[in-house]
A and B are shown apart, each in its own frame.
Chain A
Amino acid sequence: MLACSPINDEDYFEPEKTNSYALDAYQGNTGFQLDSSYSIDDTLIQEINLESNDGNSTANIVGIYVGDISKININKVIVYCHDKSKNIDYYWPRIKLLAKTGLEEHGIFIIDYRGYGKSEGKPNENGFYADINTAIVWLEEQGLTGERLIMYGYGLGSAVAVELTESPRSLTPAKIILEAPIASFESLIQDTTLQSTPSSYLSDLDFNNVDKMKNITQPLMWIHGTEDKIYDINSQGQFLYDQHTGVVNTDKFSRLIEGASHVNIPQKFDNGLEGYVFEVLTFITND
């Protein structure tokens, strides 16, 4: 159907720039709403500025650490690799949800990739990997060790979580959580063209999680909505999950959320948001 019509790689990223993060005051649609019981004490929200080099250019990138920085040397930390659109503000409700797992014992670090939010530069695939690795290096400097590092990849961010779990450039993560992940950009293109079109015909993007997942031995939690129209649950999520060689319900766990789209998965858990928090907490605390 679409044998050869190029995809503008830069268009595939959908960053939203900002001069300052609104967080709770963000007015955009974030997929679901949280009540005041999910609010986080301001003292536990720290904006972190880092310098990241992707091999071609250096960019000042910005992230937000949620938790007690002085406890990074003893706490577990979830590194949140967000999806391809918007910026930290859009994902803030998701960070607050993860904070419900207990900020006494867990921290969460979300970073805007280059070109997103307050981060400088232009988005690119290598930049995604470099920027999150820069964040991990910073966490290591604060005392984090690999056995307390959990990678969380949402949407296209799954590619970053998978890459840095399979081929760590600093700390080796202990666990990985993937929410609505992509299998690979090539498979996405072939789903669209119906043919075995090489992705190089249409795009320079790779985001190949499939081959990397085969080498990941860390426990995996996969969450996907049955109505996801961005990354199809079967051809993308399930196919990727199947590549993990671990034993089901021992090394890898799946939560298929009936009726959930790409953006409202936590809300659609059986017990709603609390169900999502419980499932994630169970996965990150079970050793």
Chain B
Amino acid sequence: MRPGNGPDSELTVSGMDSRHDTRRVDVLIVGAGLPGLALAVALKQALGTSFDVMAVDPALTPEGRARRRRDPRALAIVAAARRLLETIGVWERFAENAQPILDMVVTDSRLTDTVRPVFLTFAGDVEPGEPFAHMVENRDLLAALNAQAEAAGVVLRADSVAGFEPGPFWATASLASGLRMAARVVVAADGAHSRLRELAGIDVVAWTYPQSAIVTTVAHERDHGGRAIEHFLPAGPFAILPLTGRRSSIVWTEDAAEAVRIAALPEAEFHAELERRFGLELGDISVVGPRQAYPLRFSLARRFVGERLALVGDAAHVIHPIAGQGLNMGLRDVAALAETIAEAARLGLDPGGREALARYQRWRRFDTATMGAVTDGLNRLFSNRSAALKLVRDFGLGVVDRLPALKALFIREAAGLVGEVPRLLRGEPL
């Protein structure tokens, strides 16, 4: 659907501002991170050459790209999110660097416990032969999405949004470079501190947890066998997540001040603190990547849509990373929004119209608020030092462990395969 498909149609038309031209696209995505790029690729592949998609992000400069390559974070991609990445042809670009999680062990313990009681195991496939999740390094996924976006014909531009003005037919976004863009839908995929969300006047409910997560990568002597381990230590969860080639990603939650202190320790002392928590099961360990502390926050936008505007990913919601659901939620947004926009466009209807956007919001907001409440509750339950609570959680999760049907539901829920599932998450093309 070329906007303005009349006889006088031109991609560039004179805007009302005489100093600048206004360039028209169908969809403008602000933020070329994981959800923004995935959305761009899905839309472009589904709707073809006559449907224009542009993604802008200041990090698309050469320096920004170099910074992204030093990102120490890794992600758990659950089955539904993996199906989406497979369907849009991104998965095959880095599949050899994806480590399947074959087994998940949760322990509840104090730092001084020599034996940590295992009270929940998640050995599970969502379908026979389909692992519950894979571990992927951020930079690999981002590079693959970037390459796929270029191959699909998405216009990528190093720029940021400075103004946003919705109208009855188009929304206009002014970019920092001075370019004015008109789009039928503008998507805020610019992260937790979304500038576009702020420009549109959408408030968030937000708080900061008194915790930060230290993230780094370690290499170890013995093979992890695809096992993910989560120790619920008194300060918060300490997760050991398997990566390819005898490496693991560490997500280590501490009280905020302590996290800053630990992250800044000299190498030998950092190593000692790490080893105390990591345990000895995998033999000698060494830190092989940069380390960084990330403050943990919760935020939920009051609305996921505005006039000619849709929010996806962290711009819409940031949840506690305890259940590893952050990006997976973002990709659920992507799948629902891509399907909503594609359906409208294939009917010649306005993809940024009120009906289409309302449908996206109905689809996503309930799910997100629920997931946010569950992860927040889990964190409060597991971060508390009370002995009584420890009894409750031992007992509660012990029951879950003994009921196969309930556990299977937990696994499928965590894998994103419960509820009205968008096509891309089922592994079907749009």
Is the pairing of A and B real? no
Chain B contact residues, CB within 8 Å of chain A: none
Chain A contact residues, CB within 8 Å of chain B: none
